[in-house]
Structure 1
Amino acid sequence: MAPHERRDDLIRAALRVFARRPPDQVTPEEVAEEADVSRALVYRYFPSMAELRRAALEQAMAELIPMLLPPSDLPPLEQVRAGLRAFIGFADSYAPSYAALLRTGSVIATEETEAEIDRVRGTVRDLVLERAGVADPSVRLVLALRCWISAVETAVLVWLWERGMSDAELADWLLDQMVAMLSCSGAPREELGPLVAHAD
């Protein structure tokens, strides 16, 4: 393999392992075994597990963002619903890693990983506003959306532990939460219209 192909292969091997076990518990030997290479080769490309975890997170986030782009011909709330279902499915497929990233005091939650996650949060916020046709959102609307995104992260984490409803039910519930939070945000009514319309 060319060097860049080998590096990508190691990252994908790490992601497969991280989908089964929390990243802070994974060793270079496990990644090497998954990739069918030597431990030394893993260290050649990634001198530390911290570097491999960071590269794997960047790859996972790069895969997630296109998944959050629903068809633009759907009504805004249906686009949000589709994005929620995609996010829930993504978190479910990487459940141990998702839980580890959001766990307080996690050794894999660093400034770099937090910056990457914040980038995705900003992308989601901007996507919702763009699809709703809000070019210059008020402070209250932006704050409410940021709070809702945090609520989504926490609710999905709880759902991964408890599985108290189906993934589709969770997506619908989270959509209802967005409508409720935005409705009482105090944001101007003219910018709320498409975001608080009745969702069936």
Structure 2
Amino acid sequence: MSASSSPRPPRRRLGVEQRREQLIAVALEFFAKQAPEEVSIDEIAAAAGASRPLVYHYFPGKQGLYEEAIRRAGEQLAALFEEPREGPLSERLHRVMGRYLGFVESHGPGFSALLRGGSASSTPDTGAVIDRVRQAAMDQVIAHLELPGPSVRVRLAVRAWIANAETTAIAWLADQDGLQPRPDRLTRQELQLRLVQEFVVMLLVSLSYEPELLPAFRSFFAQERPEGPTGLLVRRLTGLLADPALAAEALRLATPDPAPGA
């Protein structure tokens, strides 16, 4: 039974803040499952056991309610990146990505519409919410790196990884659309692991340009475990290089051509 066809719950008297919080919570449920332009004030009012005039008493209109709901969702999403700085880094980020993808999956249409900027209800205010989420995520990830002063390259790598997680999650959601799911679609667990391993690769690329980061990265790898995301990645890469032809090509690329006339 859809939310719009559910029996209207009995109305009950709530305090001002209780009613406002209830309306935001109900609106979040709708915006999580449908693009905002597909949701009506009447549907939200009915699901909350309230009248249409009562909703307008608390909010100037659907847009105002949508923006407040998005702010609340943004706070929830930013909080998902909070993780105790204990244990191997890749395992911490693996837990973060598990929560992130769980949120994405349960807020599919609303998440996609907001990040694509394609919703008719998107405004500078809703865009600012996403910017704050991205900044909070970046601050959390950089804090986990525990570098004394993250360089421009490191900060750029972290920002690029967060953007990659967003676009990848949107593409992953799109693969769920339709009556027949794609047989080659990644599971949430596969995507969770892949995103973390891509972050490890991006760190290695940063290290290749900034060898002064080597002591910090030695500490990072020393904490990793063979069964963790980084250990699994190293085994996969080692397995690839066990192929003689691929190993020979890798060695060729690692050997600079002699200078002319040498």
Same fold (TM over 0.5): yes
TM-score of the superposition, structure 1-length normalised? 0.92
Say which of 93, 96, 102 aligns to 1:89.
Answer: 102
Aligned to 2:173: 160
Say which of 166, 170, 194 aligns to 2:191.
Answer: 170
Q: Which one has the largest radius of gyration?
A: 2
CA contact (8 A) 1:11 1:55 kept: yes
CA contact (8 A) 2:161 2:199 kept: yes
Aligned-residue sequence identity (percent) comes to 34
Say which of 82, 91, 102 aligns to 2:115.
Answer: 102
Deviant stretches of 4+, over 3 Å: 190-193
The alignment status of 1:121 with 2:142, answered yes or no, reads no
Segments of structure 1 that go 5 or more residues without pairing to the other structure are none
Larger CA deviation: 57-66 vs 162-171: 57-66
Segments of structure 2 that go 5 or more residues without pairing to the other structure are 1-13, 177-184, 225-229, 233-262
1:134-160 superposed Cα distances (whole Å, 9 cap, x missing partner): 241000010111111111000000111
Q: Which has the bigger relative contact order, CA under 8 A and spacing at least 6?
A: 1
1:55-93 superposed Cα distances (whole Å, 9 cap, x missing partner): 001111222233322343231111111101100000111
Larger CA deviation: 189-198 vs 113-122: 189-198
The alignment status of 1:112 with 2:136, answered yes or no, reads no
Cα separation, 2, equivalents of 1:128 and 1:56:
26
Aligned to 2:59: 46
**For the structure 1 residues 36 and 132, does the alpha-carbon distance in structure 2 shift closer, same or farther, using more than 3 Å as the test?**
same
The alignment status of 1:189 with 2:189, answered yes or no, reads no
* Superposed displacement of residue 199, structure 1: 4.0
Letter aligned with residue 101 of structure 1? L
TM-score of the superposition, structure 2-length normalised? 0.71
- Would you say how many aligned residue pairs link Structure 1 and Structure 2? 200
Cα separation, 1, equivalents of 2:202 and 2:221:
10
CA contact (8 A) 1:67 1:83 kept: yes
Cα-Cα RMSD: 1.9
